[in-house]
Amino acid sequence: NAGSSNLSDLGYVNQNWFRNGIFGFTLSVPIFSGLGNRAKVEKARIEMQKIEQDFKAFERTYDFQVAQARQSLSTSLQDLKIQKQNMDLAKEVSRVANIKFQSGTGKNLDIIDAENQFKTAETNYYNALYNAIISKIDLNKAMGKLVVDK
């Protein structure tokens, strides 16, 4: 600081210069925040309630999907049992038709019809087995036990 108002009065660097320094600080104390903090707290509370409701909805959905998958598996297993019995019965009818034909008391048409019924029952059994496997996979998926490799 040279203490001069004119640039021409500055002269040499070591002449007419006064050594000095300035220190300063600022202090800010909010007296009124404009209810901003209260609004932020209320917003956070509402967000927390929304998260809790979302979690409850997820739990209900999870429970419903697991119950539905269990019921589907139970139904599929019952259907599999029934189809197994039908297939065994059709196999026995086919065996009896073959015995009758070989002994001369049965017709060739009876054998063909019995074989067709057996094949149909066998197909129904394999479809029921497939549905039971799919139901088991759906249950594992609903319970989060299904592992998928990518």
Examine residue 24 and state whether it is found in any structural domain, yes or no.
no
pLDDT at 32: 67
Q: Which of 3-7, 67-71, 110-114 has the lowest mean pLDDT?
A: 3-7
Q: What percent of the chain has pLDDT over 90?
A: 60
- CATH number, domain of 138, equals 1.20.1270.60
- CA dist 82 and 95 (Å) reads 20
Confidence of residue 11 (pLDDT cuts 50, 70, 90): low
Instruction: For tokens 């903090």, name the residue.
Output: 37
- CA dist 74 and 114 (Å) reads 30
Instruction: Specify the number of domains making up the chain.
Output: 1
The pTM of this model reads 0.64
- CA dist 93 and 102 (Å) reads 14
**pLDDT digit string (tens) for 53-90?**
999 999 999 999 999 999 999 999 999 999 999 999 99
Q: Give the domain extent around 100.
A: 36-143
Examine residue 77 and state whether it is found in any structural domain, yes or no.
yes
Examine residue 29 and state whether it is found in any structural domain, yes or no.
no
Q: CB of 1 within 8 A of CB of 16?
A: no
